[in-house]
Structure 1
Amino acid sequence: MEKRFSGVVMRATGSWYDVMHGGETVRCRIRGRLRLRGTRSTNPVVVGDEVVCEADEGGDYVICDICPRRNYVIRRASNLSKESHIIAANIDQALLMVTLRAPETATEFVDRFLVTCEAYKVPVTIVLSKIDLQDPGAVADFRAVYEGAGYRVLEVSAPEGIGIEAVNELLADRRTLLSGNSGVGKSTLIRAIDPSLDIRTGEISESHHKGRHTTTFSTMYPLAGGGEVIDTPGIKGFGLIDIDDAELWHYFPEMMRVAPDCRFYNCTHTHEPGCAVAEAVKAGEIAWARYESYLKILDEDDKYRK
């Protein structure tokens, strides 16, 4: 192995990073000053990063530089925190896995994730998981809301083999971030797509109907059919960061479609007369659930910015 090389981060554990270079995985640490550069981030180096590595005096490899990212998915590290946590970088698309029960994915989580993907220009598809366990009426209502907003919704059951082919087509030759709450079946889906991968899966806790964390660290897996998928630890909350109130509505595609018809160019779509967004909500052209999420995000995120 040469003294200095570039590669892609395939796994991040917080202290060690697996970097792929020329078909070989090299374990690396990160140089101390790299940590300082990302003072607002809990993780300066993430899966998907293109990095430059070099051997130190002891023969270990260290990541000494990070190439500019073309995109990433980011969230607030915790409530009331000013720090961010980047989930993955340099991705072609995201799949957000959602379950309406066993366990239930909160609408607010879904909408915040979608807003972040819109803000950082990451195409996103919603995967409605464990479809064989879901209520058909609830599935129809969910599809109406999110397909109405402009998102593709896939119905999947990995154990039943439902929707696996459609997911395979979506993943082919792309780098995909797979995200969602614990217990929605991310690892099970990846194993169904490529059985050769060694990924642990867990059961749902009966007492709390929540998933157990089976993925401890973010890991990128090359797929036999081409492309790569990034499996992430289950995410509980999804606080937005670096998105101003005035631009939030830009990341709701259904609001963007009608907002040019508002009476005022700087309409906030909350109280102004002649608001085309409010009229579209009243007419049922924009789902009330999505508009309510918009209002909640405006209200709740104000306290983070003080």
Structure 2
Amino acid sequence: MSGQARVVARFGAELILRTESGELLRAVSRRNLVKHGPAHLRAAVCGDYVRFEPGDGDKAVAVALQPRRNVLVRPDHRGRPHAGAANIDQVLIVIAPLPTPDWGIIDRYLTAVAALPATPLLIVNKSDLLEASDARLIADTEALYGGLGYPVLRTSAKNGEGIETLRERLRGHTSLLVGQSGVGKSSLTRALDPGLEVRVGELSALSGEGRHTTTVAHLYALSSGGDLIDSPGVRDFAPYQPTADDLAAGFPEIAECAHDCRFHDCRHRAEPGCAVKAAAEAGRIPPSRLRSFLELEGNSA
């Protein structure tokens, strides 16, 4: 058996593939599916399409990597570039009343999404748990990012708020689910597709890695249509060495103001005549956004 398949998960040199007929296969991968380019982009990752051929025993062999539309690259624990998922249409950034939303993490996600590029969707999950103490921060978060043009959706796995809207949004697309640990990603996926637990169990049994593997991204076919990539929960996130164009795309309101700075190479820190600082002081640019921009600019390529 040979043909094209999509990478559902990767465990070292081993892959779980989904064929065009929907069958799941175990496979081994050739060392470098792409001969040229950075080392971290030569191996197949979750969401990739590969060509495969029969191998020895019960495993197929991935022999070639198909061209990618995009690939999400982030630093690993040593600061080296690491490819995590590919061929992504949209990224669902999940926040919740607890843990408290961190605007810096949201901004880093949005910059990474802009660099792909892909379409972002900010999801305020566990909306049924909102109390007076949470409501102001959540409302401020929705107002901030909604005001910048980012779509925002409230969801609740408990009472069903927003679930059907989100299900329709996912249909026909490959969506990446990201967010801090504890924001309710698992309950959200179960609400979207109650039968997903069975397929998660099948995948875990096939991989031999166990049901509680939390360090590997998995791609799941939703019964309502579309593919969902569930990434490990993270406490922090940053795109890998964002370029000036990435920052401009991730912070369009800052990029627009920067055209009016006195110096074309203004870094918006201590330079005189900085239109960005003036806009922040006047309340036209939220201080949290400028802080996030300056932090990422310091890590840029």
Q: Same fold (TM over 0.5)?
A: yes
Deviations 1:44-88 (A, max 9, x none): 221110111122355631112112211122210125x2x222221
Check whether the contact 1:38–1:44 (CA below 8 A) recurs between aligned residues.
no
Structure 2 unaligned regions, length at least 5: 201-211
Is structure 2 residue 293 aligned with structure 1 residue 294?
yes
Q: TM-score, normalised by structure 2?
A: 0.85
AA in 2 matched with 1:32:
R
AA in 2 matched with 1:51:
V
Aligned with 1:16 (options 14, 38, 41): 14
The residue aligned with 1:188 is 187
User: Alignment partner of 2:144: what SS?
Assistant: helix
The residue aligned with 1:203 is none
Deviations 1:145-186 (A, max 9, x none): 212332112111111211112211211211111111222111
AA in 2 matched with 1:86:
A
User: Alignment partner of 1:141: what SS?
Assistant: helix
Q: In terms of mean alpha carbon deviation, does 278-287 or 185-194 score higher?
A: 278-287
Aligned with 1:112 (options 103, 108, 111): 108
The residue aligned with 2:51 is 52
Q: Equivalents in 1 of 2:53, 2:137: separation in Å? A: 53
The residue aligned with 2:82 is 85
Query: Structure 1 136/57 Cα, relative in aligned 2: closer, same or farther at 3 Å?
Result: closer
Q: Equivalents in 1 of 2:221, 2:32: separation in Å? A: 31
Cα-Cα RMSD? 2.7
User: Alignment partner of 1:236: what SS?
Assistant: coil
Is structure 2 residue 282 aligned with structure 1 residue 283?
yes
User: Alignment partner of 1:126: what SS?
Assistant: strand
Check whether the contact 1:150–1:253 (CA below 8 A) recurs between aligned residues.
no
AA in 1 matched with 2:179:
G
Structure 1 unaligned regions, length at least 5: 201-212
Query: Structure 1 111/173 Cα, relative in aligned 2: closer, same or farther at 3 Å?
Result: same
User: Alignment partner of 1:198: what SS?
Assistant: helix
User: Alignment partner of 1:261: what SS?
Assistant: coil
Query: Structure 1 173/59 Cα, relative in aligned 2: closer, same or farther at 3 Å?
Result: closer
Q: What's the CA shift for 1:38?
A: 7.4
Q: Equivalents in 1 of 2:11, 2:214: separation in Å? A: 11
Q: Equivalents in 1 of 2:18, 2:111: separation in Å? A: 31
The residue aligned with 1:251 is 250
Query: Structure 1 214/286 Cα, relative in aligned 2: closer, same or farther at 3 Å?
Result: farther
Query: Structure 1 192/35 Cα, relative in aligned 2: closer, same or farther at 3 Å?
Result: same
AA in 2 matched with 1:287:
P
Aligned-residue sequence identity (percent) comes to: 37
Q: What's the CA shift for 1:289?
A: 0.8
The residue aligned with 2:222 is 223
AA in 2 matched with 1:296:
E
The residue aligned with 1:96 is 93
The residue aligned with 2:206 is none
Check whether the contact 2:242–2:297 (CA below 8 A) recurs between aligned residues.
no
Query: Structure 1 36/184 Cα, relative in aligned 2: closer, same or farther at 3 Å?
Result: farther
Query: Structure 1 43/126 Cα, relative in aligned 2: closer, same or farther at 3 Å?
Result: farther
Q: Equivalents in 2 of 1:214, 1:55: separation in Å? A: 27
Q: What's the CA shift for 1:239?
A: 3.0
User: Alignment partner of 2:24: what SS?
Assistant: strand
Q: Equivalents in 1 of 2:58, 2:170: separation in Å? A: 37
Check whether the contact 1:129–1:185 (CA below 8 A) recurs between aligned residues.
yes
Query: Structure 1 194/57 Cα, relative in aligned 2: closer, same or farther at 3 Å?
Result: closer
Check whether the contact 1:148–1:286 (CA below 8 A) recurs between aligned residues.
no
Check whether the contact 2:33–2:64 (CA below 8 A) recurs between aligned residues.
yes
Aligned with 1:132 (options 120, 128, 132): 128
* Count of equivalent residues: 286
